[in-house]
A and B are shown apart, each in its own frame.
Chain A
Amino acid sequence: MDIKQIPLNDLHVKLGAKMVPFAGFNMPVRYSSDIEEHMTVRNGVGVFDVSHMGEFTVKGPKALDLIQRVTSNDASKLADGQAQYSCLPNDKGGVVDDLIVYKIKDEDYLLVVNAGNIDKDWNWISQHNTQGAELKNISDNICLFAVQGPKAVSTLQKLTKTDLSSIKYYHFAVGEFAGVPDVIMSNTGYTGAGGFEIYVHKNHAEKIWHAIFDAGKEFDIKPIGLGARDTLRLEMGFCLYGNDIDDTTSPLEAGLGWITKFTKDFTNATNIKKQKDEGVKKKLVGFKMVDKGIPRHDYLIKDATGNTIGKVTSGTMSPMLGIGIGLGYVTTELSSPGSEVFIDVRGRSLKAEVCKPPFV
């Protein structure tokens, strides 16, 4: 497969980023140090260029109907300028993708999906678009900058008349930003550090990038790579598609019951409801290492007698805590916080404790 470039690729190279292929794109994984970048976002402000993410517009009288049928959360509850985390269940019990649904206004929605799933999601949603909603893939035209950290709002407020502090979490505004019209300013992110995500047409992206860095200079704003993005999201216990959820994991097992609404019909709702009533046999949990060691994707999770009870789906050293943390599926019996489990770290059984994220 050809590796695609994001529009500001050359700028990141110039900034000293180490570029690696991720989800079909060459992406900045690190500019200086993962830990330093992680701390910049927790304590100050940093900017991720996540322009690899996919964006679909869904418009017209049948837009909401299509979204309701393919997603698990209830998009009819959205007010104008509100967003919601959701997922696309498949018909085999798993998840096609997780996504954010933005309601611009009636009959005008934006779906933001994972870069690695753009084609799969497009085919899936198109296949269910039997009523003629106007569906358009605008991924190649949109740049997305996640400006995250406690100093993000002070940075961004200098660039817009829109009162950012009045925009609540998972709400957004469309307006002029850094002299560019029709920019989406969304109080969302994947870090738990606060801040906004800025969606802009690629033709204005470089201008906006520089405006954000000028505005953030007094806060020592820095570019942040995907490495720190992963440790930041993991400290919050946020799922990563392809690791913690995939085509085979049930939304209920993944702890996504809160975005699975049986008040409406959607793909595979009957089976998922049945699973809810019967109870799931395994659950995605957070855990932190008691013994010294770092859990990694695919390491086995065992009980005290050495029986395998699941697998690590994401793991890292937490830069904030200085210990290993992770997410993984375990049997329901050992899924409650405080349960003692063991992670098989290259043949050694290291003690860990189940806990409820966020870790920090």
Chain B
Amino acid sequence: MNIPSDLKYTKDHEWVKLNGNTAIVGITDFAQGELGDIVYIDINTVGQEVNQHDVFGTVEAVKTVSDLYMPVSGKVLEVNSVLDGSPEKVNADPYGEGWMVKVEVKNAADVNGLLTADQYKELIGK
């Protein structure tokens, strides 16, 4: 199970990587494995302010659909356009090519309340 130590995690299995006042958000390796083949990323919040822990979109696997929760409050700047034609990238490379949204972070201190890699590892029992 790949759980990079330089990321922060939510209890809902999103990861966030802070880079100045922007952040990249995706779902974890554990999450993609639980969901199975991802076939559609449905995110319609570009340009919108989304509060921490609110839903910013949904991810559809063959068998199930799951909401995506925002790890930090901010404005959604961009959706990873690669996922439109190749949603399976989320399965293949959840922390790289399979990233989901880029966010303009409102309050960088939001990440302090998130889980570290070790804490996330404990959460999923790995």
Contact = CB atoms under 8 A, between A and B. Distances in A.
Interface range, B side = 10 to 19
Interface stretch (B3-11, B32-40, B70-78, B96-104): B32-40
Interface in A280-334: 292-294, 296, 316-317, 319
Interface stretch (B12-20, B45-53, B60-68, B113-121): B60-68
A296 B65 contact: yes
A231 B40 contact: no
Contacts of B37: 33-36
Contact of B40 (A18, A29, A317, A319): A317
A317 B37 CA distance: 10
Contacts of A292: 40
Nearest to A317: B39
Contacts, number: 38
A346 interface: yes
A59 interface: no
A contact patch SS: mixed
Contacts of A175: none
Contacts of B61: 34
B80 interface: no
Contacts of B60: 294, 317
B36 A33 contact: yes
Nearest to B58: A346
Contact of B62 (A18, A293, A317, A346): A317
Interface in A12-54: 18, 29-30, 33-36
Contacts of A319: 62
A357 interface: no
Given A227-B62, A230-B63, A292-B40, 8 more contacts: A29-B63, A33-B91, A34-B36, A34-B61, A34-B62, A34-B63, A231-B62, A316-B62
27 contacts: A29-B63, A30-B36, A33-B36, A33-B37, A33-B91, A34-B36, A34-B61, A34-B62, A34-B63, A35-B37, A35-B39, A36-B37, A227-B63, A230-B63, A231-B62, A292-B40, A293-B40, A294-B39, A294-B60, A294-B65, A296-B65, A316-B62, A316-B63, A317-B62, A319-B62, A346-B42, A346-B58
